[in-house]
Structure 1
């Protein structure tokens, strides 16, 4: 998912603005409600310093691009003690997938219709969201997004039975929150709630101007989850991700495209960080490289449309159920959902890549 970012140099916006003078009055009529990109409504453009950029992005048919920032290699730390005793352990099921994503909605946007097929098949699915996707708006907004993703899973599984919630202290020292449907323990959603890193990879002022990129690059020593959980340094974060993967005993993993892939250029920096984390730690959690599938994020909009007809209708229905709980991307029907800049393009596409297909740089 995306966030409004500061303007970057050389984006070519000035030329587009010059050609668009006739539309100035129309631009002024754009409502605050419509100026959103997956996590931050613009309530006073001057406050974020990116007003002109936001207006230009609203006129682009294919949505935003994330800032490209060099990422340091991730080297997993060896563990002295086995992970088998993790409090996060979940009973293994048939055909188990552990899915690790940056934000709550990455899965329903980039990995559907496959996600719906996994749930419909009766397979076991353990989903993990690393950041809160809070966009600097606080825990209450992050919890709205979490409620939305649970509702989306209800739509896919065909049940509205309540979800049970519990806090888990991990062997790594991290604390996570886990949601499990009371009638379907083969499914679970676990959230770590680290701060959103923003499209700029600079974080948000409300959360200290830092996110996963700075943590992995060593420019900040640790990140604090927005729910006041224990702070995590880079080594502890890697250990946490490995512990959660191992606790799900997966046959396979799905996740975001890693930073080192050519398909990551223009993606949200949080997506790239999570993909790289998973790629680095999966072998230490007992999952071979060939069992990991990576889904292209923002750059999928440049691939041919490949979700159409009934699968597209079902995908948009799931997204609309999620969006009803996320006040900054709510859409009233399929047409409105598909008209959202960026989201409309991503919903019409889904591109998984194997390790061999990543085009590593």
Structure 2
């Protein structure tokens, strides 16, 4: 062992000796012997890099590698603090065996504790390989108290102590959808008063324990209080059903584990005031439903992801770890690609690109769900600094605003912000539900009024079918708002105000089948509304044949399959539709023109570059999205790009006189990972601006600066919209920043 490693180990052991209870946990988390000193204030225009603290929660060992990578490996590579929390032991049937036409391990008696240990060994190997390039890198393992007499194992990677693993070791359901009371589902639904542990062999946790429902929530909240994340990653609590009245579309542990995390984040936010803790955002990931959806990753990213899965799966079957339980998960060795999961990463919420918008001319607003509430930043004029985050009126206790926000601008310049809100079943398990909500500005440029609910187009069995998407909205010339939503049956639903400023009428079905992602809408220069939604095979369209006419459709577009996330922006008498191509992640665009029937679409054309994944925001010639490396990237037009006068302000109206894109845009990557989707807007003076929410839960922006000469526009670095010094002042004077 090197001197540096011995020094780190000695410091960890000393800290562990002093640790007592949850409070003592802070002395060893991420390898710190004491709370870190506050970071020095940065210069306001310092280029953005990846910062923050990431904590991700999964039900089983391997859920992170299958469903959260490459976000996971990209985060580790930047050096930020990354912790993964495994809620269950993942003991399954207790058999660590590979059986396929090419692999036939000898059959052995079931041993749940040993299989749980083997999966732990595989996870430690994969994380060590992601962090150091060596699966054999050493870990310090210890037992720490949680709540109610329970304990968790915490592992710290000695060579990279900012990488931690937390093993809660609750019993798993041992069935994808079977009604087993001794499970997270049974505990959530009140079918058992407490759920027992399944301790892995070799774990430093020596005493079995049980958690009541409340204790399980509190134990997870304690982990959050310990690590103080700025980004929380978790699985999808509402994936819906495979068909009406069918089985859930995901593993029950994935679903109910995510619901426990939802409840814990709400408790953590409510009991720990902002200031002592940083703001945080939440990112949800799709799990099993990826099996039937197009791949989102390019071949290089998919192969890298597969390599870590093979390490976890102990594919070489060499006894490098010396554990009788095995050095990895041989079940996964049977098929380390899963059901094509190594080729895919997909977010279940937060993919809207309309969270950045303009109120009165030049007055910009950006919205994001932070701490389970809706936050926003403002820039009153181009020559004034950004301010924020401020917060809209809070939701009721026991509820939380979900990731993802969209906006609509009224003719008088007021902004409506829309989201979904989850009720967390604080009284009875069946109280759990999700609904569409909106809040409206009191006056142009002023604060926001209270939240109003539109309910949900779903009826019956709300606890199981609250799989509605993020709403998108538009306004007509009179100021009536129409909200569009993918419901839990994966069809399109709409609700419209009965009059400007009045309540909404009932939800109406607009048809469509197998919709993925959220609908995208824009209004062309003639005043005709367009709406597009992806399926697993193509894109469907709804359009107005004339301004003010009822929306007609769905029409087949003939477009190929996409990765499921669309963006739409006005372009003259049509709409520019942008999406990613499965298997490469390259951005493809087409121009749609409304007719009296199906819209006419131009031949799809790619924008070049190496691809990426996730949503793409567009305005004018500017595109913003996630590069193949996971970092924020923007396009800049080449010198011969034709002039584009699109004045899109994300108000669903605008014009564009451009007729082409020359040799195509050039992508420029940053050094910053981010969460959710990017957004982009064009101000009245023609300036394009892109924005993202960093892993630090801060707003970051960039404005490509035009430069004369053949080089064309220069890439301007991303930077924090609100400098750290201003954030510190806001923390000292919260009344200045919060409504």
TM bracket, shorter-chain basis? 0.5 to 0.7
Q: CA offset at residue 220 of structure 1?
A: 0.7
Matches within 5 A, 1:1-361: 86-89=23-26, 90=29, 91=32, 94-137=51-94, 138-157=112-131, 158-159=133-134, 160-197=136-173, 198-203=175-180, 210-227=182-199, 228-259=207-238, 265-286=248-269, 291-324=281-314, 325-331=328-334, 337-338=336-337, 343-352=338-347, 353-354=349-350, 355-356=403-404, 359=468
Distance 1:305 1:346 in 2: 8
Distance 2:68 2:263 in 1: 21
Structure 1 or 2: more strand by fraction: 2
Structure 1 or 2: more helix by fraction: 1
Distance 1:153 1:219 in 2: 36
Task: Find the residue that maps to 2:172 and give its secondary structure.
Answer: coil
Asked if the contact 1:86–1:243 (Cα under 8 Å) also holds between the matched residues in 2, the reply is no
TM-score (norm 1): 0.68
Change (3 A) 1:289 1:247: closer
Distance 2:74 2:293 in 1: 22
Higher relative contact order (CA closer than 8 Å, sequence separation 6+): 1
Cα deviations across residues 166-199 of structure 1 (Å, max 9, x unaligned)?
0111245321111111121101101011111121
CA RMSD of aligned residues (A): 2.5
Structure 2: which 5+ runs fail to align?
Answer: 1-20, 37-50, 95-111, 200-206, 270-276, 315-327, 351-402, 406-466, 470-487, 489-739
TM-score (norm 2): 0.34
Asked if the contact 2:230–2:280 (Cα under 8 Å) also holds between the matched residues in 1, the reply is no
Q: CA offset at residue 253 of structure 1?
A: 0.3
Q: CA offset at residue 273 of structure 1?
A: 0.7
Asked if the contact 2:147–2:215 (Cα under 8 Å) also holds between the matched residues in 1, the reply is no
Q: CA offset at residue 95 of structure 1?
A: 1.3
Asked if the contact 1:282–1:289 (Cα under 8 Å) also holds between the matched residues in 2, the reply is no
* Aligned residue in 1 for 2:540: none
Distance 2:288 2:137 in 1: 33
Asked if the contact 1:282–1:288 (Cα under 8 Å) also holds between the matched residues in 2, the reply is no
Q: CA offset at residue 214 of structure 1?
A: 0.6
Cα deviations across residues 108-167 of structure 1 (Å, max 9, x unaligned)?
100111111000111100110000110142111001001001111112112432111101
Distance 1:337 1:130 in 2: 22
Q: Please say which of residues 347-356 and 116-125 is displaced more in the overlay.
A: 347-356
Task: Find the residue that maps to 1:306 and give its secondary structure.
Answer: coil
Q: CA offset at residue 291 of structure 1?
A: 0.3
Asked if the contact 1:172–1:243 (Cα under 8 Å) also holds between the matched residues in 2, the reply is no
Distance 1:359 1:246 in 2: 30
Structure number with bigger Rg: 2
Asked if the contact 2:177–2:248 (Cα under 8 Å) also holds between the matched residues in 1, the reply is no
Task: Find the residue that maps to 1:254 and give its secondary structure.
Answer: strand
Change (3 A) 1:172 1:251: farther
Change (3 A) 1:350 1:140: same
Asked if the contact 2:229–2:280 (Cα under 8 Å) also holds between the matched residues in 1, the reply is no
Task: Find the residue that maps to 2:25 and give its secondary structure.
Answer: coil
Asked if the contact 2:22–2:146 (Cα under 8 Å) also holds between the matched residues in 1, the reply is no
Q: CA offset at residue 260 of structure 1?
A: 7.0
Distance 1:163 1:257 in 2: 30
Distance 1:190 1:178 in 2: 5
Distance 1:337 1:220 in 2: 34
